[in-house]
C-alpha cells in the first residue's frame, strides 16, 4: 500500500478553539489514537513538536508550538472515560508529562498488548500494522526535524500514518487479549508504564546500574552515587543531556580517583559540552567532601554479577522462567528479564518488577531456587 493511499487527510490544528471543537465530537468513552513527534538531541527533557490524534476515521495534527494544548487534553484523556491507544508509549508519555502529569486515565499500549497476544516482545508499529492490517508504512521521516514550520507534506503524511492504524490494531489486540484472559495483566503493565513515565524525582540509587563498580569499596560506591545524583540534578536544571555534563566513564573515574585540584578536574573533563566553569567548581567542591557514615549507610551496594552457586541458581531460575513463559505462551523477557533475575539471585530481595501478576505466577517458583 502506498504512502499517499494509506494516509487520509488530517486536520491541522494550531489554536485552542479548533482543538476543543475537534475533541467535542468524540464520544465520552471513545478509543482515541495518540502519538507524538518530539526532539531530544540537545536537551534533558524531550521537546514536544507535534501531537497526532485519531478517532473513527478522523485525524488531527496538533501544533503544540502554537498554543498550550494540555488544558484541552486533560478533561478528555486524563479525567474522562476515554481509552488512549498508543504504541510503545514510554517516551511519548514522558514527553507529554508536563501536559498530562499522570498520563491518560486509561492507556492501551499496543506494543505491550502484542507481547501478551503472542506476537513477540518489542514489536515495532510498522511490523504490527503489516501483520494485522496488511499495510506497509514508510518510515522515511523517522529522523526528521519536527520543530520546523511549516512541516513538509511528507512529514504530515508520515505523522498521520502513525495514528491511522491504531484503531484496527487496538480492536484486534483487545479481542485477542480477552480470548487469552490477559486483559487485566495488560492493563496492569500499562499502569506500570504510566507510573514510570510520570516519575519526576531523581533516581535515589543511580549507582546500582553501574555493575562495573560492584567490587569497589563502599566509600567509592557512595562517592559514585553522589556524583551521579549531582549529574542528574544539574542536567535537569540546565536542560542538557546527562553525558554532556559527565559521561559514565568519567563519572566512574572521578569517584575512583578523585581529582586533587580544580585544575586537574578541568584537565580530565575536557570535552564535556555542558560542564562549564561554574559546574566544574560545584562538582569539585562536592567531590572534596569526605564520605560520612550516614552517606555510607544510605548507599545501596551495587549488585555483583552472579558467581559460583549464584550463577547456578541463575541458570535454574532462567530455566524456570522459560518454562513458565512457555506454559503461558508469553515471551520470557516479558515475564522476567534476565537482568531482574541477576539482581534477585545476588541480593535475595524480591524485585519490584515481579510484583503484581508476575508474583502470582513466579512467587512460588523462584524463591526456592535462591542459593543456599
28-60 tens-digit pLDDT: 999 999 999 999 889 999 999 999 999 999 999
In a domain, 71, yes or no: yes
Q: Are residues 139 and 42 in the same domain?
A: yes
Give the cell for residue 210. 553501574
- The rounded distance, in Å, linking the Cα atoms of 140 and 2 is 13
Closest CA to 173 of 121, 123, 109: 109
DSSP state at residue 355: -
Q: Is residue 358 part of a domain?
A: yes
pLDDT in tens, 54-73: 999 999 999 999 999 999 99
The CA-based dihedral angle spanning residues 16, 38, 131, 7, taken in that order and rounded to the nearest 10 degrees:
50
Which pLDDT value is given to residue 4?
Answer: 40
| Domain span including residue 363 | 309-369
Residues 315, 294 share a domain: no
C-alpha cell at 172: 484486534
Q: Is residue 32 part of a domain?
A: yes
Q: Are residues 235 and 335 in the same domain?
A: no
Grid cell at residue 177 = 487479549
pLDDT in tens, 109-141: 999 999 999 999 999 999 999 999 999 997 777
Query: Quick one: average pLDDT of 271-290?
Result: 96
In-domain check, residue 304: no
Task: Identify whether 303 is part of a domain.
Answer: no
Distance between CA atoms of residues 193 and 111, nearest Å: 12
Integer-rounded Cα radius of gyration of the chain:
24
Q: Say yes or no: 289 and 333 in one domain.
A: no
Q: Are residues 32 and 168 in the same domain?
A: yes
Where a domain ends, among 254, 275, 298?
298
Q: Encode pLDDT of 289-321 as tens digits.
A: 999 999 999 999 999 999 999 999 999 999 999
Same domain, residue pair 175 and 268: no
The answer to whether residues 16 and 119 belong to one domain is: yes
Given the C-alpha cell 535462591, which residue does it identify?
370
Tell me: do 185 and 93 sit in the same domain: yes
Give the C-alpha distances (Å, rounded to integers) separating 50 from 60, 151, 197. 10, 10, 19
Question: Per-residue DSSP letters for 260-289?
Answer: SSHHHHHHHTTT-TT--HHHHHHHHHHHHS
d(CA 51, CA 62): 5
Asked if residue 60 belongs to a domain, the reply is yes
CATH assignment at residue 81: 3.30.420.10
For residue 319, give every residue at least 6 positions away whose Cβ sits within 8 Å of its Cβ, in sequence order, or none: none
How many domains is the chain built from? 3
Average pLDDT value for residue range 200-217: 93
Q: Rounded to whole angstroms, how far apart are CA atoms 33 and 40?
A: 23
Q: Grade residue 105 by pLDDT with cuts at 50, 70 and 90.
A: very high
Domain end among 173, 197, 221: 197
- pTM equals 0.93
My answer on whether 110 and 138 are in the same domain is yes
Does 213 share its domain with 190? no
Report the pLDDT averaged over residues 195-203.
85
Burial class, 111, CB count within 10 angstroms (exposed 0-12 / middle 13-18 / buried 19+): buried
- Among 168, 197, 226, the domain-final residue is 197
How many Å apart are CA 37 and CA 49, to the nearest integer?
A: 6
Residue 76 in any domain: the answer is yes
Average pLDDT over residues 365-372: 95
User: Would you say residue 175 has pLDDT above 90?
Assistant: yes
Q: What is the CATH number of the domain that holds 217?
A: 1.10.150.80
Kindly indicate the confidence band of residue 251, based on its pLDDT and cuts at 50, 70 and 90: very high
Structural domain includes residue 163: yes
Asked if 37 and 159 sit in the same domain, the reply is yes
306-309 contacts at long range (C-beta below 8 A, 24 or more positions apart): 306/342, 306/345, 306/346, 308/371, 309/371, 309/372
Q: Looking at residue 324, what is its pLDDT?
A: 97
Determine what percent of the chain is predicted with pLDDT higher than 70.
98
What pLDDT shows up at residue 200?
75
Residues 16 and 156 placed together within one structural domain of the fold: yes
Amino acid at each position: 500500500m502506498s504512502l499517499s493511499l494509506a494516509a487520509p487527510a488530517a486536520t491541522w490544528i494550531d489554536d485552542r478553539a479548533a482543538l476543543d471543537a475537534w475533541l467535542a465530537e468524540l464520544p465520552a468513552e471513545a478509543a482515541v489514537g495518540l502519538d507524538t513527534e518530539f526532539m531530544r538531541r540537545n536537551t534533558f527533557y524531550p521537546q514536544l513538536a507535534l501531537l497526532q490524534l485519531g478517532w473513527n476515521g478522523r485525524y488531527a495534527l496538533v501544533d503544540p508550538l502554537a498554543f498550550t494544548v494540555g488544558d484541552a487534553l486533560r478533561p478528555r484523556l486524563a479525567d474522562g472515560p476515554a481509552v488512549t491507544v498508543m504504541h510503545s508509549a514510554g517516551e511519548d508519555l514522558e514527553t507529554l508529562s508536563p501536559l498530562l502529569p499522570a498520563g491518560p486515565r486509561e492507556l492501551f499500549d499496543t506494543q505491550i498488548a502484542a507481547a501478551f497476544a503472542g506476537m513477540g516482545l518489542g514489536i515495532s508499529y510498522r511490523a504490527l500494522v503489516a501483520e494485522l492490517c496488511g499495510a506497509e508504512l514508510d518510515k522515511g521521516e523517522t529522523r526528521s526535524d519536527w520543530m520546523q514550520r511549516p512541516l513538509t507534506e511528507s512529514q504530515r503524511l508520515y505523522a498521520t500514518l502513525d495514528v491511522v492504524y491504531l484503531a484496527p490494531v487496538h480492536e484486534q489486540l483487545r479481542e485477542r487479549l480477552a480470548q487469552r484472559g490477559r486483559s487485566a495483566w495488560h492493563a496492569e503493565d500499562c499502569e506500570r508504564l504510566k507510573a514510570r513515565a510520570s516519575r519526576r524525582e531523581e533516581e535515589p540509587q543511580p549507582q546500582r546500574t553501574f555493575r562495573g563498580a560492584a567490587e569497589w569499596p563502599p566509600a567509592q560506591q557512595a562517592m559514585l552515587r553522589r556524583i551521579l545524583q549531582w549529574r542528574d540534578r544539574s542536567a535537569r536544571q540546565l536542560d542538557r543531556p546527562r553525558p554532556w555534563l559527565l559521561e559514565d566513564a568519567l563519572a566512574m573515574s572521578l569517584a575512583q580517583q578523585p581529582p586533587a585540584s580544580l585544575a586537574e578536574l578541568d584537565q580530565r573533563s575536557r570535552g564535556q559540552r555542558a560542564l562549564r566553569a561554574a559546574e566544574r567548581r560545584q562538582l569539585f567542591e562536592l567531590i572534596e567532601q569526605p564520605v560520612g557514615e550516614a552517606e555510607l549507610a544510605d548507599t545501596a551496594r551495587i549488585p555483583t554479577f552472579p558467581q559460583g552457586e549464584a550463577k547456578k541458581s541463575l541458570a535454574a531460575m532462567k530455566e524456570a522462567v522459560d518454562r513458565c513463559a512457555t506454559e503461558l505462551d508469553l515471551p520470557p523477557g516479558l515475564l522476567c528479564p534476565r537482568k531482574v533475575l541477576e539482581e534477585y539471585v545476588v541480593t535475595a530481595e524480591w524485585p519490584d518488577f515481579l510484583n503484581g501478576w508476575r508474583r502470582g505466577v513466579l512467587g512460588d517458583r523462584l524463591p526456592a531456587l535462591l542459593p543456599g
